[in-house]
Amino acid sequence: MNGKFWIALLLSTPIGFFGFHHALHNLGSWYNELNGDVISARTFYTSLPVLDAILTGQVTATQLIHRHPFGNVLASLMYGMTGTFFAIIATEGSRRHLQGTPLAWTWLWAILANFMGLSNILLILWIPLYFYHYPRSNDVHLWTVSTGRARAILASLVIGYIPLVVYQSWIAEPNSTMEENVILMWTLFPFAWVFLYVSSTPLFEPRNTSTAIAKNIIEIVQSKVAVETMYMFLGVLNLLMYFGLYLDTQWNGILIKDSVVSLVMAQSHGGVGLSPLQLGQVLLSQFRLLDVVLATIGCSIWVLLQDGLFCAVVIALGSILVGPGSSVAFYAAYRENRIQDVNKLAKKGQ
C-alpha cells in the first residue's frame, strides 16, 4: 500500500458512488412504476428464477437504450470503451507482480462492468485496488506480460465483438429472439473470453531460439511489442468507430449538443406524453451518458496517478477529439513503452 492508494480512494470512490446513487435513484423510481406486461422481452433463459429475472432486466435495458436514437450512439461508444477496459484489466492482471492479487480476477471485473456499468466498477473498485497493489519497484521484470497472453487477449476480444457486429446489423431484427440472444452473449461474454485467452495463450507464444544470455531481454522486448500492438489496434478500432458514429449522427440528423442537454435534464418522474417504455429509453440513455463521462474521468484519474496532470489532461481532451476508447488505448500503448523500457535493463548491465 502507498500514498497513491489513498489519493485514488479519495478521488475516484466519491465520484463512483455519485454515479451509482444517481442511477439507482432514477432507474429505481422508473422501474417501480412498471407493470409486468410493459416489458415484452422473454423471461426464461435458465431454470433459475432469480437469474432469469436479472438476465431479463439486462436484455430489456439494452434493448431500450438502442431504441433511443442518441442512446444507440452512446451504447455503441461504450462498447468500444468497454473493450479497451477489458484489455487493460486482463493485461494488468497478467503482469508478474499482480498475478496473485484480486486484479487477476478479470472475469469478475468484466462481468460486473457489463451488469453494473463500467464507471461504477472502475471508480469504486478497480482503481483503488490497482493502486493498493501498485509496486514500489520500477523493475522492468515485474511489469512483463507473456507475449502469448497479450496476443490471446486481443484475439479473444476480436471474437467477442462479433455478436455486437451482428446486433448492430440488419441480421438481428428488433424484438426478435436473435436480438435477445446476441445481447445475452455479449453480457455473459467475459466468462467465455477469459477461458479463451487463458487456454489459447500457449498457441500464441513465440518460439524461443535465443541463448540463455539474451533470452531475458528478448522476452521483455516481445512482451512490450505485443502489448503495444494490442493497444494500438484497439485505439485505431475505437477511432474508426468514434468517427463512424459521428458521421452516423450527422446523416440521421441527430443534434449531439441538444441530445446531451435533453438527457442531462431528463427526470425520473417522466414528461408530458411519454409512455413508461419511452421514459425508460430516456433514463437508460441518460445512465449510459453518465457511464461514458464518469468512466472517462476514472481513466483520467488512473493516468493522473501514474504519469501526472499533463497526461491526464491530454487523455481527457483526447476523449473528446478522438473518442474515450481510443484515447485511453493510445495512452496505454505509450505507458507500455515507458514501464517496459529495455534501456533500463541496459543501464543495469543485463
**Domain chopping of the chain, boundaries:** 3-347
Contact 85/165 with Cβ under 8 angstroms?
no
Predicted TM-score (pTM) above 0.75: yes
Span 88-99, pLDDT tens digits: 999 999 998 888
Span 258-295, pLDDT tens digits: 999 999 988 766 566 777 788 889 999 999 999 999 99
Cα 53 to the chain's mean position, in Å?
Answer: 24
Tell me the residue type at 196. Answer: L
pLDDT category of residue 37 using cuts at 50, 70 and 90: very low
| Burial class of residue 57 in the structure, from the number of CB atoms within 10 Å of its CB (0-12 exposed, 13-18 middle, 19+ buried) | middle
Query: What's residue 271's pLDDT?
Result: 60
Q: How does the average pLDDT of the chain come out, rounded?
A: 87
Provide φ and ψ at 102, rounded to 5°. -60, -20
For the cut 50, the answer to whether the pLDDT of residue 350 exceeds it is no
Write down how long the chain is: 350
Query: What's residue 97's pLDDT?
Result: 84
Span 162-203, pLDDT tens digits: 877 777 766 667 777 888 888 888 889 999 999 999 999 999
For the cut 70, the answer to whether the pLDDT of residue 212 exceeds it is no
Query: What's residue 50's pLDDT?
Result: 84
Query: What's residue 221's pLDDT?
Result: 83
For the cut 70, the answer to whether the pLDDT of residue 347 exceeds it is no
DSSP states along 213-235? HHHHHHHHHHHHHHHHHHHHHHH
